[in-house]
Chains A and B, each alone.
Chain A
Amino acid sequence: MTLAVLLGYLALVLAVGLGAGRLFKGTGEDYFVATRTIGPFVLLMSLFGTNMTAFSILGASAESYRVGIGVFSLMASSSAIVIPLIFFFVGTRLWAIGKKYGYLTQAQFFRDRFESDLIGLLLFLVSVALVVPYLLIGVMGGGLTLTQITGGDVPSWVGGLLISVVVLIYVTSGGLRGTAWANTFQTLVFMVLGSVTLLFLVGQLGGFGGAIDRLASARPDLVVRSETLPVAKFLSYTLIPLSAGMFPHLFMHWLSARKLDSFKLPILAYPLCMMIVWIPSVLLGVFGRLEFPNLEGADTNGVLIKMIHLHAPELLAGLLGAGVFAAVMSSLDSQVLSLSNMFSQDVVRHYGFKDQMTERQQVLAGRLFVAGIITLTYLLSLVAKTTIFGLAVWSFTGFSALFPLVVAALYWRRATRAGILAGIGAVVFGWIYFFTDGWQVPGYSVGGTGVLPVVVLTAASAIAVITVSLLTRPPSDETIERFFPESDRATG
């Protein structure tokens, strides 16, 4: 029964995505940004659903299982303010510039803003490299969910494969419109089912009061933060949500907005959506300690699913598992589409193939590239043994460290090509250094100080951009006028 419900859900998602795909107009702009026609509600659901992945459902519950209720303060309350501020200060501006000059990717914007092909190419390569771990947690989460919710009857490679194939089909046929519609549907599903899961499982545990009392006496360290959450770590995590400013999949969704006012609802409703998803994830994670006290390492990823499997009847378990699938796929689809978009625009079109290929052939090239990336991700998921939370944080660290670049591009006229290249260099070499040093070390921090690599990398990136920009020749007057019009400066 559980498996039938999950398969039924996958079929439904496929139908929604393919249904939207029937509206595809055959152009690159329609495929990648839905001809910039997405309204406020679908934009909210797309942006939020894209940002909530296995990290927010399985990863957050697993991390709460390990370190307690402080996980909400680590990620949720900071993301609830930082990400809407990024929509406000970065998203709206990129939307306006993208609409004015017809941009479809970040690389196109940076290439023009800094008069440099090399910057565009480097950003493409760095973004692809950092998105792959993010894709990986989705595929891993899908496999884990299916295995544990069926009591081990279905091996994890089947779940990962199913999710990969379904996402690949509806993304490649429906483009951004199909992805946005499927995202809206799936975001509503996982928000509703997340709340249902919390209420149902807490009821099984004897109510909130009873569960909290039991937790406080069994594991008092998990209801405070001082023992499991060092202050340096708490402060460091503030920088992690900055990653949203450089996620290529969020950039793509920003460009799809119909008008400026479409951003108002996502900005205002994002904190509410965060609470709806993260409160259940965190509470169910810590309550998992009461039921499964001895999980270690990557096994903690499955604590939420184990709780569902233990307590929920088969039909409900299937529905709740579908909620986890929804969260996973609503992110995978946008990430996959943004990769396809970048490959088509930043490689195929930009490097001279546009004259030799029709627009449909260019879209096809993007689809084939995505099929290759998904296959690679799927193969990696078969051998990866790590915590979902930890893997995601490494990906976010890289994107957060790139954030000073977009701030400089939008707000600092004096920022130069050499400055941006120096910033990218600082991020790439710094990230490789820290990743090779610490990816297998649980709770890794810089020199054991508690400070996370994201702090050092973001600071290094900002310092590199500022210092090198001040030492090198400013951009041409023509470029400055293009991105900072005189009329604006006069009234600003």
Chain B
Amino acid sequence: MRRAVYALVFCFFFARYDLWQMDNPSLLFGLPIGLSYHVLYTTATIGVLALLVKFAWPTRLDDGGSGDGEAAS
């Protein structure tokens, strides 16, 4: 599960490069889309990070390990 979440984080990261709408002047939720897209992306980031914390939390660090162990479920 931990590796799947890492893969999700990696893929999600690249969704921030919205190069296709660099010259799009339209509005989304009343704001220029170049701003509102990134506000939505930042909001979605919270969900992705929640998955990371839930499924990949380095519990071993509490015992002084390097943190590579599986998270407690």
| A and B together in one complex | yes
Could you tell me which A residues sit within 8 Å of B by CB distance? 69-70, 72-73, 76-78, 80-81, 84-85, 88, 92-93, 95-96, 99-100, 208-209, 212, 216, 220, 223-227, 229, 231, 234-235, 259-260, 264, 267-269, 271-272, 274-275, 279, 282-283, 410, 483-485, 487-488, 491-492
- Whether the Cβ atoms of A77 and B16 lie closer than 8 Å is yes
Given A224-B22, A271-B49, check contact A73 B13 (CB 8 Å).
no
Q: B62 to chain A: which residues have CB within 8 Å?
A: 96, 259-260
Chain A interface main SS type: helix
In the complex, which of the residues A100, A212, A268 contacts B27, with contact meaning CB atoms closer than 8 Å?
A212
Q: Kindly list chain B residues whose C-beta atoms are within 8 Å of the C-beta of A84.
A: 45, 49
Closest-CB distance, A414 to chain B (whole angstroms): 15
CA distance A484 to B68 in the complex (A): 10
Q: What is the minimal beta-carbon distance from B61 to any residue of chain A, in angstroms? A: 4
Q: Which residues of chain B from 21 to 47 have a CB within 8 Å of any chain A CB?
A: 22-25, 27, 30-32, 34-35, 37-39, 41-43, 45-46
Residues of A within 8 A of B23 (CB): 224-227
Of the listed residues B31, B41, B42, B59, the one surrounded by the most CB atoms of chain A closer than 10 A to its CB is B42
Q: In the complex, what residues of B have CB within 8 A of residue A259's CB?
A: 62
Q: Known: A96-B65, A487-B65. Is A76-B25 also a contact (CB below 8 A)? A: no
Known contacts A488-B60, A488-B68; is-contact A282 B53 (Cβ 8 Å): no
Please, which residue of chain B has its CB at the minimum distance from the CB of A96?
B61
Once bound together, how far apart are the Cα atoms of A484 and B45, in whole Å? 31
Report B-chain residues with C-beta under 8 Å of the C-beta of A224. 22-25, 32, 34
**Bound CA–CA A73/B37 (angstroms):** 9
Which residues of B does A touch, CB under 8 Å?
9, 12-13, 16-19, 22-25, 27, 30-32, 34-35, 37-39, 41-43, 45-46, 48-50, 52-53, 57-62, 64-69
Q: Is the CB–CB distance between B67 and A93 below 8 Å? A: yes
Contact A271-B42, Cβ < 8 Å, known A225-B23, A488-B68: yes
8 example contacts (A-B, Cβ-Cβ < 8 A) are as follows A69-B34, A72-B38, A73-B16, A96-B67, A226-B23, A234-B19, A260-B59, A488-B67
Q: Which residues of A contact B12 (CB under 8 A)?
A: 81
Q: Are B65 and A81 in contact (CB under 8 A)?
A: no
Contact, CB under 8 Å: B16 / A81: yes
Nearest CB on A from B62, distance (A): 5
Which partner residue on chain A sits nearest B67 by CB separation?
A93
CB closest residue in chain A, given B25: A224
Residue of A nearest to B30 (CB): A208
Neighbouring B residues of A260 by C-beta, 8 Å = 58-59, 61-62
Bound Cα distance A99, B43 (Å)? 33
Known: A84-B49, A92-B67. 16 other contacts (CB 8 A): A73-B37, A73-B38, A76-B38, A77-B16, A84-B45, A85-B49, A93-B61, A96-B61, A220-B25, A226-B23, A227-B23, A259-B62, A275-B39, A485-B65, A487-B65, A488-B65
Which of B34, B38, B52, B68 has the most CB atoms of chain A within a 10 A radius of its CB?
A: B38
The answer to whether A93 and B39 touch (CB under 8 A), given A78-B16, A224-B24, A231-B22, is no
- Cβ contact within 8 Å between A271 and B45: yes
Closest residue of chain A to B16 (Cβ to Cβ) is A77
